[in-house]
Amino acid sequence: MAHTIRDIATALGAEAAGNLDLTVSCAAEPHSAGPEALALALDPKYAGGLAKGQARAAMLWPGADWQELGLEAAIFAPRGRLAMAGLSRMLDAGPAIAPGVHAMSVIDPTAEIGAGAAIGPFVTIGAGVRIGPNARIAGHVSIAEGATIGADALILQGARIGARVTIGDRFICQPGAVIGADGFSFVTPERSGVEEIRSTLGQRDEIREQTWTRIHSLGAVTIGDDVEIGANACIDRGTIRDTAIGSGTKLDNLVHIGHNVQVGRDCLLCGQVGIAGSSRIGDRVVLAGQCGVNDNIFVGDDVIAGGATKIFTNAPAGRVLLGYPAVKMETQIEINKALRRLPRLAAAVAELQKVVAKS
């Protein structure tokens, strides 16, 4: 996977200087870069590491004096992380999945596999499945009956895709993800304690035995184009309508999307986010790690929620949220400041009590 500095700069639309025919085969942090690596020193604070490594070329911030840094060539990246996205795409060889269908996979004769597919060992593909061209499916993946997957899919080891799931083009699925498991939906013959608490917010007239009756999931999951699903993420099928994930949305590892949830386009849901059943998430929403969203609420377009935020009520578009329960971020910061002052306040009140008691 060797590339010249010229080729990399051209692919990234970036400026370059020095020996543009110099080749690199990998990327590295400045202090550990060998002579074959492109060192990533995208900020002046990383420049010192170049002297500790052996890199001959580096990706630098605009205006950097590459010759003073002892380099033979440099690429200048106005937006470093965006340049890293393009560079990483060039240098990533991807998983080693041999073209064609491995002899130890089981594919139903009614399944349709697009041209250019690469399917690894121990894959099972059910009846009526349709998979688009150039799919890459690693070992131990299962795709249940009636599922449809678009072109250029990459589905990694041990992923499970349930019946009738529909997925768009350029789908990426990390190991162990489960798409299309049944939703967690149960009901009691009589009014349950949970229903009573929802209406009374704490008061219970009577505690009695109750048993749970399963509500089966008749819907499926619909996923748009350019969606990525992280390792061990779970997306439950809908009860009647499909659970839906909009195009361009990215789910991190261990994200859980409950039944009937509708997630918009270009959302970013970070690790351990949980969205309860029948909630709606707008477009371009960012939920940081361990955020939770209550059931049957709406989170508006362009909402950003900080880590561990718990959203219990509808959130208007564009709101920046933090805390448990979620409030405006600036409000939560003031709450945190006030909490830190509580010990001093308690000490002051105690001292005042002593003075009053003596008077």
How far apart CA 138 and CA 159 sit, in angstroms, is: 9
Q: How confident is the model at residue 125 (pLDDT cuts 50, 70, 90)?
A: very high
What is the pLDDT, as a whole number, of residue 346?
Answer: 95
Q: How confident is the model at residue 215 (pLDDT cuts 50, 70, 90)?
A: very high
Is residue 302 domain-shared with residue 337, that is, in the same domain? no
How far apart CA 34 and CA 13 sit, in angstroms, is: 25
Strand pairing category for 15-18 and 73-76: antiparallel
117 part of a folded domain: no
Is residue 349 domain-shared with residue 252, that is, in the same domain? no
The candidate with the shortest Cα–Cα distance to 7, out of 79, 73, 53, 81, is 73
231 part of a folded domain: yes
What is the pLDDT, as a whole number, of residue 221?
Answer: 98
- Within 10 angstroms of residue 37's Cβ, the number of other Cβ atoms is 21
- The answer on pLDDT for 294 being more than 80 is yes
Residues 155-195: tens digit of each pLDDT: 999 999 999 999 999 999 999 999 999 999 999 999 899 98
Is residue 222 domain-shared with residue 245, that is, in the same domain? yes
Is residue 228 domain-shared with residue 294, that is, in the same domain? yes
Is residue 344 domain-shared with residue 253, that is, in the same domain? no
Is residue 305 domain-shared with residue 266, that is, in the same domain? yes
What is the pLDDT, as a whole number, of residue 149?
Answer: 98
How far apart CA 26 and CA 275 sit, in angstroms, is: 38
The domain containing residue 51 runs over which residues?
Answer: 3-91
Question: What CATH number did the domain enclosing 44 receive?
Answer: 3.40.1390.10
**Residues of the chain above pLDDT 90, percent:** 94
Is residue 25 domain-shared with residue 47, that is, in the same domain? yes
242 part of a folded domain: yes
147 part of a folded domain: no
- Within 10 angstroms of residue 100's Cβ, the number of other Cβ atoms is 12
Lowest mean pLDDT segment, chosen from 80-84, 109-113, 145-149:
80-84
Active-site entry in 3, 140, 256, 259: 259
Residues 226-285: tens digit of each pLDDT: 999 999 999 999 999 999 999 999 999 999 999 999 999 999 999 999 999 999 999 999
Rounded to the nearest 5°, which phi and psi values hold at 107?
A: -125, 125
27 part of a folded domain: yes
How far apart CA 124 and CA 304 sit, in angstroms, is: 39
106 part of a folded domain: no
198 part of a folded domain: no
| Number of separate domains in the chain | 3
Per-state percent for the chain, helix, strand, coil, to nearest 5: 20, 25, 55
Is residue 232 domain-shared with residue 319, that is, in the same domain? yes
- The answer on pLDDT for 1 being more than 80 is no
Give me the mean pLDDT over the 196-225 stretch: 93
**Reduced to 3 states, what is the DSSP secondary structure of residue 259?**
coil
- The answer on pLDDT for 202 being more than 80 is yes
As given in the structure block, the two tokens for residue 148 are 């449809």
What is the pLDDT, as a whole number, of residue 118?
Answer: 98
Is residue 334 domain-shared with residue 313, that is, in the same domain? no
Is residue 257 domain-shared with residue 343, that is, in the same domain? no
Is residue 224 domain-shared with residue 237, that is, in the same domain? yes
Q: How confident is the model at residue 359 (pLDDT cuts 50, 70, 90)?
A: confident
- The answer on pLDDT for 46 being more than 90 is yes
Is residue 227 domain-shared with residue 315, that is, in the same domain? yes
Question: What CATH number did the domain enclosing 239 receive?
Answer: 2.160.10.10
140 in active site: no
Q: HSE of 310 in the Cβ direction (CA atoms, 13 Å)?
A: 3
Sign of the CA dihedral with 62 first, then 19, 40, and 48 last: negative
The residue from 23, 58, 91 where one domain ends is: 91
Residue labelled with tokens 């019946």: 163
